[in-house]
Amino acid sequence: MGSDTLTLLSTREIAKMRQAGKLAAELLNHLEAMVKPGVSTLAIDEEAEKWTQKHGAKSAPLGYHGYPKSICTSVNEVICHGIPNAKQILKDGDIINIDVTPIVDGYHGDTSKTFFVGTPSPIAKKLVEVTEECLNRGIAAVKPGGKIGDIGAAIQEYAESQGFSVVRDFVGHGVNRIFHTEPQIPHYGIRGKGKRIRPGMVFTIEPMINEGTWEAIILKDGWTAVTKDRKLSAQFEHTLAVTSEGVQILTLP
Ligand code: MF3
Ligand code: CO
Ligand code: CO
C-alpha cells in the first residue's frame, strides 16, 4: 500500500500538514462529545462526514481502496479499521477508537484516540492509559539522527512491561499528499536498527496494544481487524514532523 519513495517535506509543506493536522484534531474533539451509550457508530461517522464537508475538507478513508465510510470506529476487540454501522450501538463499558483523516488542500491529517463509553472496567482503563503512554514514549524516541527502530523499541518495552502485547500487522506510516507512504514505523523493534530519522520526515506513530495476544484476524468484510483471542485492543495516533530541532506533533487543535 502507498508509494515507495521517502519524501522529505519543506517547511512550507509541513505548515500545510499542520493545517490538516489541526482540523483532524478538532474533528476528533468534536466527535468525542458523541461517545455515549445508545449512540451508533454510523451516527458518529455521519457527523464526521458532515463536519468535514462544512470545514471544506475531504474524508480520506471514504473510497480509499474501497473503504466504505468516512472514519474508522474500532470497538473493544477490534484492533483497527472497524466500519461504522447503524446496528452497532455503543454500550456502557465499551472502548472505542475513532480514527479520522481529513484532507485539507491536498494534505492529510491522521489522528486517533480511544475513548471510554460510560465507565470502563479496570483492565480497559489500564489498557487505554498504557496505550496512550506508548504513543507518548514513541514520540519522545523520535530524534533527528536517531533510528526508526528506537521508536518501536520504546513502545514495545513499555507495553510488555505492563503485561500487554504490540500488534505486528499494522504500522505507522509516512503521510503527506499520499495517505500511506514510506517510511513504515513498526511499534516493536530494536533500538539502533532501521532507517535513519531525518529532518523533513513526516509520519504517524499509531500503536495498537492488546490485552492478550498480539495476533490479528481480518473479518469477512475484508477490513475489520480483531484480536485472535477477542480480548481488548486500544490505539492512539498522531501525525509528526521531524525538524532539525526535534519532533513536532502536527495533529493538535
Ligand atoms: N487512518 C488509518 C491509519 O491510521 C487508515 C484508515 S484506511 C481506511 O492509517 F481505509 F480503513 F480508512
Ligand atoms: Co495512520
Ligand atoms: Co489513522
Query: Which residue type does 228 have?
Result: K
For atom 12 of ligand 1, the residue with the nearest CA is: 61
* Residues facing 249 on adjacent strands: 240
**Contact status, residue 79 vs residue 96, Cβ threshold 8 Å:** no
Q: Please, which residues have CB within 8 angstroms of residue 71's CB and are 6 or more apart in sequence?
A: 31, 44, 45, 48, 59, 61, 84, 98, 99, 100
Count CA atoms within 13 Å of residue 135 on its CB side: 26
d(CA 49, CA 69) in angstroms, rounded, equals: 9
Q: Report the residue among 31, 64, 97 best suited for mutation to probe ligand 1: largest number of ligand atoms under 8 A from its CB.
A: 64
Overall average pLDDT of the 47-66 stretch: 99
Query: Which residue type does 188 have?
Result: Y
- Ligand 1 atom index nearest CA of 100: 1
Where do we find the cell 488542500? 105
Domain of 209 in residue numbering reads as 3-249
- Ligand 1 atom index nearest CA of 62: 12
d(CA 32, CA 98) in angstroms, rounded, equals: 9
- Ligand 1 atom index nearest CA of 204: 4
CATH number at residue 136: 3.90.230.10
Which of 3-12, 88-97, 237-246 has the least mean pLDDT?
3-12
Where do we find the cell 504517524? 204
What are residue 86's phi and psi, to 5 degrees?
-60, -30
pLDDT for res 162: 99
Ligand 1 pocket, 206 CB below 6 A? yes
For the chain, the domain total comes to: 1
Share of the chain above pLDDT 70, in %: 98
Strand order across the 95-100 sheet: 72-75, 95-100, 111-116
For atom 7 of ligand 1, the residue with the nearest CA is: 61
Provide the pLDDT confidence category of residue 3 given band limits of 50, 70 and 90.
low
Q: What is the pTM of this model?
A: 0.98
pLDDT for res 71: 99
Ligand 1 pocket, 113 CB below 6 A? no
Of 154, 43, 64, 41, the C-alpha closest to 110 is: 64
Share of the chain above pLDDT 90, in %: 98
Q: Please, which residues have CB within 8 angstroms of residue 43's CB and are 6 or more apart in sequence?
A: 34, 86
Overall average pLDDT of the 148-171 stretch: 99
Phi-psi region of 163 (alpha: psi -120 to 50; beta: other; left: phi over 0): left
pLDDT for res 4: 62
CB neighbourhood size of 38 (10 A):
10
Q: What is the pLDDT of residues 139-159, one digit of tens each?
A: 999 999 999 999 999 999 999
pLDDT for res 5: 80
